Structure formats: structure tokens, C-alpha cells
């Protein structure tokens, strides 16, 4: 796994979306890495619907940097699918069911705008799937959306890491990390740098407790519908993401208290109430899961090199848009670590450093 004589390039801690994508980007660059992760030490990535949406529905504006992020992510996931010989990346239109007439008028106006045209379809569905859905005001269509089956991707990628003999399956113990100016050592494994990709567990990391995570708990249901339902993602208060065989993911809640990973009755009721405003047909709940998102106060990733320990770095804070953000920023950060690029000011951890 590692040689005593020459250190590895990187130790990566955590195998959620951030750690998985970061590992893959570095391996593509022929870096020598080891990934440390305890699969049982739950991650919100495993619960994540992996949905990516180029549009912010509240204001009908483009999602932050979507024109760069989305093409990059699509190419990355397709390349990874080929490498692993599996499918986990899917394009799916999002159908936004309108709640009021004004929403429809606003949609038609925005769909004509330069830059939004490629994402918002101008034609309005007057009634959408009336036999199964409540859509009396019609619906708009978002193009170039989709999802990553994150749980499947992480599981397959873990097997790949095992076969490469570069996975250490244990909980990372901070007190075992020895820090030197130009390298680190962990239980006999030496590396030039360590990259922490721990999701919400970063709040326990002694080197990064100054980062302003604003953690949010999300709950999600998997349901089986009894009747015909569309093969697009439906959005109105909650999303319905089709998984095939009449199965759908329904999500998700946002709660800032009670930050444990246990699903709650309150969360289930909230999702069911919103779901029943959309669905006309019966359904049964197959699964109910919860996870803690590593959201950040300003909704931008937290990436960078520790200002006092150059061998310690972090790649985190992808929040709800992790599937879309991670590939682009992992590639960017890999070049920063090589000294080939300067870290984007909007994502650098230094924006929160007071020294």
C-alpha cells in the first residue's frame, strides 16, 4: 500500500461524494493515494438523492456557475461509468408543477432570457399527467437536469479502491496524525499532504473547527406508487425522483436542530403531507432515511490548505449540490495543490480565517 522510502502524494479521509470524486481525479493524474474511511460511520452522501438542477426555482435564476460545473460533471461521471463498467449517472428532465398563475407568467418571461433558454423550456404543459398528479395550473420543464445514483456509485467505487489495495477501512483517529512542515504520517503511512473530505464530521476535526458549517438534517423517503407515473423528476414543495419499477425517492426536509442521523416521525409526516398535495394515486413507503448535510453559511464549498499547516488540507462543504460541484472543484483543487492554479476566492477556507 505504501513504501517506507518514499511518501505517498495524498491521504484522503472520507469516502462520501467529495472523497470519492477527489480520489478519482487524483488517480487520473497518476497520484499515489490511500483513502481512509469507515463505511459504518454514516455519511449523508449515502442518503443523498444526487439530484442536480441547473435552476434555482425560487428566483428562476441559473444555479451558481452551472455553465462550467454541469458539462464538467457530466464528462467526469460518464468517464467514471466507463472505467467501472456500471451506470449511475442519469439525465432526467425536472417538471415544475405551478402553484399559482403568477408563477407560470414569470416562467414564460424567464424562459425567453438569454442564458436561461437552454435550461427552461418555453412551452408550458397545460395539464401534466392528470390521472396521477394534481397539476391544475400546468407545469414547466427544466432541461439538462438529472441525478447521480450516489449510493451505488460509492459502493462500486469502494470495491474498486479495495481491489487497488488503497483503502483503509477504519475510523480516522486525529491523535494519530503526525504533522511536519512538508509531510504528514498516519499509523506508518507517510504522505506529502492529507485531504479531509469528511462531510459534517469536519465539525469534530481539530484543525478545522473554525469553519462555519451550518449543518442541516435532511430526510428522504423511498415510495412505491400504485399506478402510472411519469419518468421525469417532479417538483412542487418536494421532489419525486423516478428510480424505475414504480419506485420514487421523495425529498427532502431541512432541519437545523436535532442533528442526528435518525429518521423522525415529524420528517415523515412533513414529506407525506407535501407528497399528497401532488399525488392522486396510492403509494406505500419502502424506506425512510436521514443524513446530515455539510452545508455552509454562505452556501459555497470549503476548500483549501490549512494556513498554519501546509500539509493539511480540506475539500468539503459541497452541501445539497455535491453531485454537481464536486468534479469541477476537485479538478481545480488538484491543480492548486500542484501550484498550477490559485484557489477560487469564493470557495477558499481563508475567507473565514481570522488567524
Q: Given 3.30.420.40, 3.50.50.60, 2.60.120.10, 3.30.700.30, which CATH number is that of 8-47+151-211+299-352?
A: 3.50.50.60
In angstroms, the CA 282 to CA 132 distance is 9
**Residue 1 clears pLDDT 60, i.e. is over it:** no
**Across 32-56, average pLDDT:** 86
pLDDT in tens, 171-183: 999 999 999 988 9
Distance CA 113, CA 120 (A): 9
Q: How far is CA 92 from CA 37, 77, 145, 212, 274, in A?
A: 31, 15, 6, 33, 22
pLDDT at residue number 61: 95
What is the pLDDT averaged over residues 259-265? 90
CA–CA–CA angle 148, 152, 155 (5° rounding): 130
Band the pLDDT of 3: cuts 50, 70, 90: very low
CA 100 to chain centre: 30
What whole-number distance in Å separates Cα of residue 197 and Cα of residue 318?
10
What residue segments make up the domains of the chain, in order of their start? Answer: 8-47+151-211+299-352, 93-144+216-293
Domains 8-47+151-211+299-352 and 93-144+216-293 share a fold: no
| Euclidean distance between CA atoms 127 and 116, whole angstroms | 23
For 318-355, what is each residue's pLDDT tens digit? Answer: 988 999 999 999 999 999 999 999 999 999 999 999 86
The pLDDT of 268-292, averaged and rounded, is: 95
pLDDT of 6: 83
- The 10s digit of each residue's pLDDT in 182-197 is 899 999 999 999 999 9
Q: Give the range among 36-50, 252-266, 281-295, 336-350 with minimum mean pLDDT.
A: 36-50
Note the pLDDT of residue 181: 85
* Residue 232: how many other CB atoms lie within 10 Å: 19
> How far is Cα 142 from Cα 53, in angstroms, rounded to an integer?
8
- Beta-carbon contacts of residue 16 (< 8 Å; ≥ 6 apart): 43, 44, 45, 46, 154, 197, 198, 199, 322
For the chain, the average pLDDT equals 94
Query: According to the model, what pLDDT value does residue 354 have?
Result: 86
Contacts of 296 (CB under 8 A, 6+ apart): 211, 212, 213, 214, 302, 317, 319
Predicted confidence at residue 127, as pLDDT, reads 85
**Contact of 304 with 349, CB cutoff 8 Å:** yes
**Rounded to a whole number, what is the distance in angstroms from the first to the last CA of the chain?**
36
Domain 93-144+216-293 in CATH 2.60.300.12? The answer is no
pLDDT digits (tens, 9 = 90+) for 106-122: 999 999 999 999 999 98
Lowest mean pLDDT among 14-23, 80-89, 157-166, 249-258: 249-258
Residues 6+ apart with CB under 8 A from 249: 49, 220, 221, 222, 239, 240, 241, 243
Reading the block at residue 17, the C-alpha cell is 461524494
Distances, alpha carbon 165 to alpha carbons 10, 162, 224, 229, in Å: 15, 5, 39, 44
pTM to 2 decimal places: 0.94
Q: Quick check: 125 pLDDT over 80?
A: yes
pLDDT per position as a tens digit, 87-100: 999 999 999 999 99
Determine whether 202 is exposed, middle or buried from the number of CB atoms within 10 Å of its CB (0-12, 13-18, 19+).
buried
209-231 pLDDT tens trace = 999 999 999 999 999 999 998 99
Residues 120-147: b if buried by 16+ CB within 10 A, e if exposed: bbeebbeebbeebbebebbbbbbebbbb
Nearest to 322 by CA among 36, 53, 13: 53
Evaluate the omega torsion of the peptide bond into residue 252 and state whether it is cis, within 30 degrees of 0: yes
pLDDT in tens, 28-42: 999 999 999 998 765
Question: What's the whole-number mean pLDDT along residues 241-263?
Answer: 91
Give yes or no for residue 43 having a pLDDT over 70.
no
Cα 232 to Cα 37, 92, 147, 220, 312, distances in angstroms: 34, 6, 11, 18, 42
Amino acid at each position: 500500500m505504501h513504501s517506507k522510502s518514499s511518501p505517498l502524494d495524498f491521504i484522503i479521509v472520507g469516502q462520501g461524494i467529495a472523497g470519492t470524486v477527489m480520489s478519482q481525479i487524483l488517480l487520473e493524474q497518476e497520484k499515489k493515494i490511500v483513502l481512509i474511511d469507515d463505511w459504518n460511520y454514516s455519511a449523508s452522501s449515502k442518503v443523498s438523492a444526487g439530484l442536480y438542477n441547473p435552476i434555482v426555482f425560487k428566483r428562476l435564476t441559473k444555479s451558481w456557475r452551472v455553465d462550467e460545473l454541469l458539462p464538467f460533471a457530466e464528462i467526469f461521471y460518464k468517464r467514471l461509468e466507463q472505467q467501472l463498467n456500471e451506470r449511475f449517472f442519469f439525465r432526467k428532465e425536472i417538471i415544475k408543477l405551478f402553484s399559482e398563475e403568477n408563477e407560470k407568467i414569470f416562467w414564460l418571461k424567464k424562459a425567453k432570457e438569454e442564458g436561461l433558454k437552454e435550461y427552461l423550456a418555453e412551452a408550458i404543459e397545460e395539464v401534466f399527467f392528470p390521472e396521477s398528479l394534481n397539476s391544475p395550473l400546468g407545469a414547466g420543464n427544466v432541461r439538462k437536469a438529472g441525478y447521480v445514483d450516489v449510493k451505488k456509485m460509492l459502493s462500486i467505487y469502494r470495491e474498486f479502491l479495495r481491489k487497488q489495495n488503497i483503502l483503509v477501512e477504519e475510523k480516522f483517529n486525529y491523535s494519530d496524525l503526525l504533522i511536519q512542515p512538508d509531510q504528514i504520517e498516519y499509523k506508518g503511512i507517510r504522505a506529502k499532504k492529507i485531504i479531509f473530505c469528511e462531510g459534517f464530521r469536519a465539525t469534530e476535526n481539530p484543525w478545522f473547527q473554525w469553519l462555519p458549517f451550518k449543518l442541516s438534517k435532511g430526510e428522504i423517503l423511498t415510495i412505491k406508487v400504485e399506478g402510472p407515473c411519469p419518468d421525469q423528476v417532479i417538483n412542487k414543495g418536494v421532489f419525486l425522483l423516478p428510480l424505475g419499477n414504480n419506485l420514487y425517492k421523495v425529498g427532502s426536509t431541512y432541519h437545523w436542530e436535532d442533528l442526528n442521523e435518525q429518521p423522525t416521525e415529524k420528517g415523515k409526516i412533513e414529506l407525506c403531507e407535501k407528497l399528497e398535495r401532488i399525488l392522486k394515486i396510492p403509494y406505500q413507503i419502502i424506506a425512510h432515511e436521514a443524513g446530515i448535510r455539510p452545508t455552509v453559511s454562505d452556501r459555497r464549498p470549503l476548500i483549501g490548505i490549512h494556513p498554519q499547516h501546509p500539509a493539511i488540507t480540506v475539500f468539503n462543504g459541497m452541501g445539497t449540490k455535491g453531485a454537481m460541484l464536486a468534479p469541477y472543484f476537485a479538478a481545480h483543487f488538484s491543480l492548486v495543490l500542484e501550484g498550477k492554479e490559485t484557489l477560487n476566492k469564493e470557495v477558499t477556507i481563508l475567507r473565514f480565517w481570522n488567524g
